[in-house]
Chains A and B, each alone.
Chain A
Amino acid sequence: MLLPAVLALLAVPPRAGGERSVSCVLSPGVRASLKHRIAVEQETWPSALAETRAGRELLRLEAAGGFRLHVRVRETPGDYAVCVIYVDAGGRVVLDGRSRFVLAYGKRRVESTEILFTDSIQERRVFSTADGPIVLTDRSTGYAKAASGGYLAIVRFPDGSLPKGRDWLPDMFVLRGGDGSDYAQS
């Protein structure tokens, strides 16, 4: 019983697969990829998890101090997108409170307000560009990486600013520094 269950679980591809994404080069050795628009269902989350034993375990871990990034996103109004930042050897990028992802939908522009990181997959800490600069190199160890090897960033936009559904992917995007310069363009 156990082995078939595990095999079945492993056979199901992760939800991350199959989605379209938009990528850009930020600087030599640094690139970013917008992966997924996060759907926040604040009201249904706890009750949905409480339906299963595993879900209740997830809530227990959350209550014990884990999944703080999930909690922060769920409890802070806004539109959010998953962005994975890949840093090769020698690459370096500094993100601070003035750093902005600017998404272009035709002539319309949507500008981010905050960029969030976490420390591990258990998410016991949250780092925000609103609190201080975040320096990413290929040797940075304080920030969690996604399975693909890039740093996992959650980019916050004003509530209701991103298009709904599958149309959320922009035509292009740039990462703009506090001085108004564009770091990169997709």
Chain B
Amino acid sequence: MAVTTLRARIALVLLVLAASPIVAFAAEQAEQESLWDWIVRFLVWAAGGWHGY
């Protein structure tokens, strides 16, 4: 969906900073999947947020 708000763009930029190092430090596969699930949640939230209601 539309990325129209400054807030969404800020969130996306912050995700770039936050996502990769966290996943890189997660040694276990299960931990990585869990982290990715959370990151996907943040991404969806930033992209439109309909799962956040």
Contacts and interface: CB of A to CB of B under 8 A. Distances in A.
Interface of A: 1-2, 5-6, 8-9, 12, 14-16, 35-36, 38-41, 44-45, 48-49, 52-55, 57-58, 61, 66-67, 70, 73-74, 82, 84, 121-122, 144, 146-148, 150, 152, 154
A14 to B, nearest CB: 4
A92 B13 CA distance: 42
Q: Classify the secondary structure of A's interface with B.
A: mixed
A146 B19 contact: no
A101 B16 CA distance: 39
Interface of B: 1-5, 7-22, 37, 40-53
Contacts, number: 111
Contacts of B46: 54
Nearest to B20: A53
A144 B21 CA distance: 29
A45 B53 contact: no
A1 B17 contact: yes
B21 A12 contact: no
A49 B40 CA distance: 14
A38 B4 CA distance: 12
A38 B48 CA distance: 8
Given A36-B50, A41-B2, A49-B3, 11 more contacts: A6-B14, A12-B11, A16-B49, A35-B53, A52-B12, A58-B47, A73-B1, A74-B1, A121-B44, A122-B40, A146-B51
